Amino acid sequence: MSTRRGEPEIDLVHVNVASPAGSYTVGNASFFRYIVRLVELSLPLTLSDREALDMLAAIPHAFDPDEDVPMISGRGWRVVPARGELDWPVLEATPQRLHSAFERARNLLWTYAARFHVSAGEIAAIEEELDAVYGVLMRAEAAGFAVNVSYVA
C-alpha cells in the first residue's frame, strides 16, 4: 500500500532483518521513519554519516514488482535484486557494517530528535527495536553469516 506520492504507507511498514542464525521483524513506524529513512530529513551529515544513512536508505521493498532495484553497493553491503518470481530484493550486509549504520542513525536521531519533534515514546520504542535487531546481528556475526534486510508495506 502506498500514499498518493508513491511512498510506502508508513504505519504499515515492516523491516525484516534476517540471517541463517535468526531473524527479527520491526513493525514500528517510527523505526522506519527515523532510522531507515533518516537520510530524507536533510540533516547536516559528515561523509561517514552520509555513507551509513545511504546504506539504510538502500534497503529495498521486498514485494514491489514495479520497483526496478538496481545493483548498488557500498563498503560492506550490496543490494541483491530478486532472481525470480519467488524471490525478492534484499540489502545484504555484514553484521558489523549494519550495526555501525544503525548506531550512526541512532546517534543522529538522539542529536536531532527535538528538531523533528520525536517523542520520548517514539525514541523508547526505537531503542527496543534496535536492541532486538542488535541481537540478530550478534548471532549472525558469531556464526559468520551475512544479514539480509528488506521491508514490506
Name every residue whose Cβ is closer than 8 Å to that of residue 43 and which is 6 or more positions away in sequence: 49, 108, 112
The domain tally of the chain equals 1
Q: How confident is the model at residue 131 (pLDDT cuts 50, 70, 90)?
A: very high
> What is residue 68's predicted lDDT score, i.e. its pLDDT?
62
> What is residue 97's predicted lDDT score, i.e. its pLDDT?
96
Average pLDDT, the chain: 88
Distance in angstroms (rounded) separating the CA atoms of residues 73 and 139: 23
102 lies in a domain? yes
24 lies in a domain? yes
Domain of residue 53 covers: 10-152
pTM of the predicted structure, to 2 decimals: 0.88
Distance in angstroms (rounded) separating the CA atoms of residues 20 and 83: 19
Share of the chain above pLDDT 70, in %: 88
Interval 89-96 mean pLDDT: 95
Side by side, the strands of the sheet bearing 77-80 are 22-26, 14-19, 147-152, 90-93, 77-80, 73-74
Q: Would you say residue 6 has pLDDT above 70?
A: no
1 lies in a domain? no
Q: Would you say residue 10 has pLDDT above 90?
A: no
**Checking DSSP bridges between strand 14-19 and strand 147-152, what pairing results, if any?**
antiparallel
> What is residue 29's predicted lDDT score, i.e. its pLDDT?
92
31 lies in a domain? yes
4 lies in a domain? no
Q: Would you say residue 146 has pLDDT above 70?
A: yes
Q: Would you say residue 4 has pLDDT above 60?
A: no
5 lies in a domain? no
